[in-house]
Amino acid sequence: MQYLELKEMKFHAYHGVMAQERKVGNTYTVDLKLAFDFSRAMQTDDLNDTINYAAVYALIDREMAIPSNLIEHLAARILEKIHASFPQIKQLEIRVAKQNPPFGGDVKQAAVVIVQNY
């Protein structure tokens, strides 16, 4: 299997159920792993034979700008948009993490991971 990974993409966004989270926002990181056949691109050296990861990043950036109460919902929404735009993907794995979640504990991040097969 061949994979394209985008790791530790950072965003300042306004997700969460608490009013303060929607007002001041927080830092989020997104990791993405895409499984698809890019063997043709390995031979041709042509961007048209693979998935343009700049386009994937732009899609994630747009979705991060739309507030969600839950990072679970956000992660699923991102996966849906990516697969709709790039149907050649066979498997998507996403990890969305909220840095320093505001619930009174010393926690570096709260994260969800979804692995979706197509």
What is residue 55's predicted lDDT score, i.e. its pLDDT? Answer: 98
What is residue 60's predicted lDDT score, i.e. its pLDDT? Answer: 98
What is residue 8's predicted lDDT score, i.e. its pLDDT? Answer: 98
Count CA atoms closer than 13 A to 84's CA, side-chain side.
8
Task: Go through the domains of the chain in sequence order and give each one's CATH number.
Answer: 3-117 (3.30.1130.10)
**φ/ψ of residue 27, rounded to 5:** -90, 135
For 19, residues 6+ apart whose C-beta sits below 8 A from its C-beta are: none
What is residue 32's predicted lDDT score, i.e. its pLDDT? Answer: 98
List pLDDT tens digits, range 45-82.
999 999 999 999 999 999 999 999 999 999 999 999 99
Statement: residue 110 has pLDDT above 90: yes
List pLDDT tens digits, range 1-42.
899 999 999 999 999 998 888 899 999 999 999 999 999 999
pLDDT confidence tier of residue 103, bands split at 50, 70 and 90: confident
Confirm whether 81 is a catalytic residue: no
Select which of 7, 81, 98, 108 is catalytic: 98
Separation CA 110–CA 5 (nearest Å): 21
What is residue 63's predicted lDDT score, i.e. its pLDDT? Answer: 98
